[in-house]
Structure 1
């Protein structure tokens, strides 16, 4: 082989070696982020009381910031899309937490709530997990919403984390597992209790009592004292009892994403 060709080959090998050695290595911050879907209610009527309902701010805000601050990408959807209704009682002074205070000072997230994605435009394959905040609203719309039901069934079949807090486990009412049985059958769960519903004087207003529904569907229901933080994880299913449990649910969800 001529000297000229040997020089060219040598230079080419040196170039390739240098390229492989200097190729940047991605750090943890540059790795692909996790994507979580939040699903909010679009229902704002509290039965026939003439009062308003919707989603509970704390149950959205605490998990939202918990995950957002850890670098998780979050998309917020609702059955109707657009403005998701807020339960007025969750704006009361007694219901405020550090997370809700942050929410009320965060114009960006308020824009997100005002422009939620329409649920039927969502593809489960685009997300690593789904989370449902509570409030009484979901008992009326999401519990019956076929798109929501199918979405949860898809996430579950893909073995992805599915998380719910307070009244949100009510959306599991008609959700089936891969065997065609109630998804919650034989699963350890929690949610807003009959005692807590009685305490807020809405036992006769809600379309069904969450605790009773879960037990009737074969769930293994457990609870802590009223208004205290309590959450349960059974496989990819994560549930929280009440607004005070929203942070715990978010932590469990984040660990399940890893």
Structure 2
């Protein structure tokens, strides 16, 4: 059965308190995109504002750019899609089997307080459909409230880029907030990998989260398996 998935990416190009560039972490999009495309699923890529999605230059470094990501980065048709994403307002009322928040430090700026994104996620979750988020994209779940006013992630088992990993990434002083601490403030059961910067995916009902870029492949696998059940 053909599934319809929404992949949400960022529009932000730079940290607000630094000259450092940021954007989408490429592998956190390419692996789920590739898995869906292989199965002939319908894929929509959208961003808060629509239009251009920058790619974090860190995600293009040789140690980070895996084979699948490199192939898509060198694919003009795929890059054209990233240059012309739909806006969240355009697709707000569409129906999807999965809404997937990609990562990159940039998402810490345009995901958490976006009211349209919150509406999309609330409807998706309350319809018992899949919500997935990886790495810093998990920050987009922080302020989503359900119809009863409770935070969507309260009491849920969740992961996301941890504070020690932020230190290893040398972005501790550049990021707008501590994602690990913010998640814990929402009352989640925070789960992180025993070894930093290794794959970790957490499934709690129709909510799936991945800890870091190294979780991209396993996240795609988990999402596909859950959707095909």
Please report the TM-score for the alignment, with normalisation by the length of structure 1. Answer: 0.85
Which blocks of at least 5 consecutive residues in structure 1 are unaligned?
1-30
**Equivalent of 1:108 in 59, 66, 77:** 77
Q: Of residues 173, 178, 182 in structure 1, which corresponds to 2:151?
A: 182
Matched residues in 1 for 2:71 and 2:134: separation? 20
Matching of residues 103-142 of structure 1 within 5 Å: 103-142=72-111
Take 2:105 and 2:167, find their aligned partners in 1: how far apart are those partners? 13
1:238 aligns with 2:208: yes
The SS at the match of 1:94 is: coil
**Is 1:88 aligned to residue 57 of structure 2?**
yes
In structure 2, the residue matched to 1:3 is none
CA distance in 2, matches of 1:126, 1:192: 29
Distance 2:63 2:161 in 1: 18
| Native 8 Å contact 1:124 1:155 kept in 2 | no
What value does the CA root-mean-square deviation take over the aligned residues?
1.2
Give structure 2 stretches of 5+ with no counterpart: none
Residues of 2 paired with 1:105 and 1:52: CA distance?
20
Shift of 1:124: 4.7
- Partner of 2:123 in structure 1? 154
1:43 matched to 2:5: no
Compute the TM-score of the two structures, normalised by the length of structure 2.
Answer: 0.95
Deviating above 3 A after TM superposition, structure 1's stretches of 4 or more consecutive aligned residues are: none
The equivalences for 1:199-214 within 5 A come to 199-214=168-183
Equivalenced residue count is 227
In the alignment, which residue of structure 2 is the partner of 1:6? none
In the other structure, the counterpart of 1:7 is none
- Take 2:60 and 2:188, find their aligned partners in 1: how far apart are those partners? 32
Shift of 1:129: 1.0
